[in-house]
Chain A
C-alpha cells in the first residue's frame, strides 16, 4: 500500500491532501468501547472503510481494533486525536504515518456452479493459492488471505463463475520490522 507521510506535509497541504490511513488501536475490552469508536466516526462524519476487532491478550482485557479510513490529512490527524482522547483507548497509531506495514484480510467465498465453470473456479483458486474449505456436488467455499487488492481481484474473477456469497474480515495490520505499537 502506498502511503503519504503526513508529518512531511506543509500546513496548507494538510487541508488539500487526500490520504488513506490504517489506524490500530489498543483498547480496554469493556462493553461500549466499540460503539464509542464507531460512534465517533459516524458522529463526526469520518469514513470507515473497514474495521476489525478482536481480543489480543490472554485474559481478554485488551483488544486491538484496526480501522481503514480516508480523508484529508487534516481530518486523519483529527481522527487520531479524537480516538486518542477516548477514555478506554490505550494507544492509537496511524500505521501509514509510522512507516511500512503489512495489512491482510481473509475472505470466504461461496461459488455455486458445475461443469466448466466449477473447473475454472478451481483453477483460479489454485493460481491465487486459495484453499477449498468446503465442497459439495454443486458448491465450493474458498478461503483466501491476502492484501485487499488480491482478494478484490479474485472475487471479480469468480463473479461470472457462480459466486453467490462473500464474507470478508476487513484488514488486520501490523508494522514491519522491529517497531511495535
Chain B
C-alpha cells in the first residue's frame, strides 16, 4: 500500500526530506491505518497540513474530541483494528480523557495523538499547554512525550504494538509542535517493542488440563464468558461455540461479551449480573464449576462478593494476571490469550472419552429450564390504538423488523435503562456487532460510536439505541453524521427521564426524584431536521412499526424519537449488595410467581 523509503534517506544538505508530521502519517499508513478521527488546533496544524497533502489516510472530523475517541473505539471494536485519534494540545487533550478511560476499562486498542506546545515552552504555562502525559497517565495503558525526532517512527510502532497486544488499551503519544516540523528520519520497521514490555500470551497447558479435568467432574457447570473473547478475535468465538457444544454446558455472558456465543442458541442463558436473566444468575449462584473466560468479575456481575457463586470451583482464564484473584478468589487460574486457552481446552476435552455424568448434567438442565420457564424478560405491551409504547417492545420490534433485511446489523448504545434493555432484547449471534460502554458506563458514547461503526461498515445497518438524556451529551455529532452521509439510525427511547437514575431513586431512595427528570428537552425531530437529517416520531403503539419500517427504508441517516412509557423499570434486577438468588423480577412476574425467588438448585 505504500512505497517503503530507504532507511535514513537524507537529502544533499544532509537533512531528512520529510518532517515529523509527514513521517507520522507514513508510519500510520504502514501500520494499516486508513482512517483517523480528530479535531484540529494550533499545536497539530503541521499534521493537518500533512494530511491535506496526501490521500492514503482519511480524516473524519468529529464535533468534539471526546466523540473522536468513542468513534475510534467503536471502529476498533467492530473491526478488530486499532482506532486512531488526533487532537490538539490543551483543551483538545483534556477533552479526550473520558474516551481514554472508557477504552482503558473496556480494553479497546486506541492510539491517541495529541499535539503539544513547542518543546522549549513546555512547563511555562504556554498557550494551550496542559500536562497531557500527567493527566492521562492513569487513563492510558501507556503514554509518551516524544522528545526527539529520531524516536518518532520507532515510538509509533511501539505504541501500536502496546495498544493491541496483551490486554489491549489506549496508548497516547504527546507530540510537541517542533517535533512535527523538524526534519525526521522515516523508518519502516515492522515490529518494535518496548524493552520491558512482555505481555503474556501462551496459557499454561498444565493449568488448562486441570481445568478440563474439573470440567469433566462437574455436575452443574457453567461457562461465564466476557469481552476478552471478542478481543481475542473471531476464532476465539468460533472455538467457544465448539467448546460449549462439545461439552453440552450452559453459557452465560457479560455485557461486553455479548455476541461471542450466539444468543439464539438454546445453550445460551442470556446475560448475567445486575440486569441479567433469572436463569443466568441462578445458574451462576448454583453451579459447581464456573468457567470464567475473558471476564473479570466486575461488581455489576458479582453483586456481593461473599454471596457470589458460593459453592463452585472457579476456573479463570484471562490475559491480564492482575485480574486473577482481584475480586473473587479462584481455584484454577489460566493466564494467557483466552482464544488460545479455549483452543487448548477443546483439544484437551477431546483427548479423553470421560465426560461429565450425563444424569447430573440432565438434572442441571432440568433445573435451568425450570428457571427459564418463568420467562423473566416478559413485558406487557397493550396493543389497542393509542397505547403507550413499552421500551422493551420497541427494541424487540427494531430487531424483528430489521433481521430479515439482508443486511448486517450493528448496534451501539448510550448508557442507562435503554442500554440494559438493548442487551436483554436485542440478540447477537456474532461477535463485534455490539458496541456499548461497559466498564465506565459513559453517557454520550452511543452516537459517536455509531459514527465509527458506520464508517467501518458502510453497507450495514448501524442502530444507536439511545436514551434522550445520553443523546444530549454528544448531540453535536449529528453534524458529523450529516457531513459524511452516514446512514446511522438513531433510535431514542425517550422516557423523559434519566431513567436508570429514576429507577434507583424509586427503588432505593424512597421515590425522591432528585434531578432525574429530563426537563426542557428539544423537539428531537426538528433538531434532526435542522442538521439535515430525517426525523421521525412514534407516539403510540400503532405508530411504532410504520416508523421503524420508514427508518429502515430510508437510505440516509434517521433519528427516531420513540415516546415510551416514562416510568418503566428494568428487570430483572439484583439490588446492589445482594447475592444473585435475591433477584427482583418486577411486579408483573412477581405477582404471578411468588415463591420462585428463593428456590435453590
B73 interface hit (Cβ, 8 Å): no
Asked if A85 meets B142 with Cβ closer than 8 Å, knowing A27-B196, A32-B137, A39-B137, the reply is no
**Contacting pair A81 B194 (CB below 8 A):** no
**Contacting pair B324 A87 (CB below 8 A):** no
**Contacting pair B326 A78 (CB below 8 A):** yes
**Contacting pair A87 B329 (CB below 8 A):** no
CA distance A39 to B324 in the complex (A): 21
Interface centre among B137, B162, B196, B320 (most CB of A within 10 A): B196
**Contacting pair A85 B196 (CB below 8 A):** no
Number of A interface residues at 8 Å Cβ cutoff, please give it. 23
CA distance A130 to B598 in the complex (A): 69
Q: Which residue from chain B places its CB closest to the CB of A11 in the assembled complex? A: B329
CA distance A94 to B220 in the complex (A): 38
A45 interface hit (Cβ, 8 Å): no
**Contacting pair B137 A35 (CB below 8 A):** yes
Please, which residues of chain B bring their CB within 8 A of the CB of A35?
Answer: 134, 137
Please, which residues of chain A bring their CB within 8 A of the CB of B329?
Answer: 11-12, 14-15, 74
**Contacting pair B194 A88 (CB below 8 A):** yes
Please, which residues of chain B bring their CB within 8 A of the CB of A32?
Answer: 133, 137, 143, 145
- A15, A74, A77, A90: the one within 8 Å of B196 (CB): A90
**Contacting pair A74 B325 (CB below 8 A):** yes
B138 interface hit (Cβ, 8 Å): yes
Q: Which residue from chain A places its CB closest to the CB of B323 in the assembled complex? A: A81
Q: Which residue from chain B places its CB closest to the CB of A15 in the assembled complex? A: B329
**Contacting pair A89 B196 (CB below 8 A):** yes
CA distance A63 to B438 in the complex (A): 37
Please, which residues of chain B bring their CB within 8 A of the CB of A78?
Answer: 322, 325-326
> Which residues of A, 16-45, contact B by the 8 Å Cβ criterion?
27-28, 31-32, 35-36, 39, 43
B195 interface hit (Cβ, 8 Å): yes
B321 interface hit (Cβ, 8 Å): yes
CA distance A87 to B138 in the complex (A): 13
CA distance A174 to B465 in the complex (A): 57
Please, which residues of chain A bring their CB within 8 A of the CB of B162?
Answer: 87
- B133, B143, B195, B324: the one within 8 Å of A81 (CB): B324
**Contacting pair B138 A31 (CB below 8 A):** no
- A27, A39, A81: the one within 8 Å of B138 (CB): A39
Asked if A82 meets B194 with Cβ closer than 8 Å, knowing A11-B329, A39-B138, the reply is no
Asked if A87 meets B325 with Cβ closer than 8 Å, knowing A28-B194, A28-B195, the reply is no
B141 interface hit (Cβ, 8 Å): yes
A52 interface hit (Cβ, 8 Å): no
CA distance A85 to B321 in the complex (A): 8
**Contacting pair B320 A43 (CB below 8 A):** no
B198 to chain A minimum Cβ distance, whole angstroms, is 8
Q: Which residue from chain A places its CB closest to the CB of B195 in the assembled complex? A: A28
> Which residues of A, 46-100, contact B by the 8 Å Cβ criterion?
74, 77-78, 81-82, 84-85, 87-90
Please, which residues of chain B bring their CB within 8 A of the CB of A87?
Answer: 141-142, 162, 194, 196-197
Interface residues of A (CB under 8 A from B): 11-12, 14-15, 27-28, 31-32, 35-36, 39, 43, 74, 77-78, 81-82, 84-85, 87-90
Task: Report, nearest first, the 9 A-B pairs whose CB atoms are least far apart.
Answer: A81-B322, A87-B142, A90-B196, A11-B329, A28-B196, A81-B321, A87-B197, A82-B322, A85-B322
Interface residues of B (CB under 8 A from A): 133-134, 137-138, 141-143, 145, 162, 166-167, 194-197, 320-322, 324-326, 329, 331
The contact sample of 6 A-B pairs, CB cut-off 8 A, is A11-B331, A78-B325, A81-B321, A81-B326, A87-B194, A90-B195
Known: A77-B325, A85-B322, A89-B196. 15 other contacts (CB 8 A): A12-B329, A28-B195, A28-B196, A32-B137, A35-B137, A36-B137, A39-B137, A39-B138, A81-B322, A84-B321, A85-B167, A87-B162, A87-B194, A87-B197, A90-B195
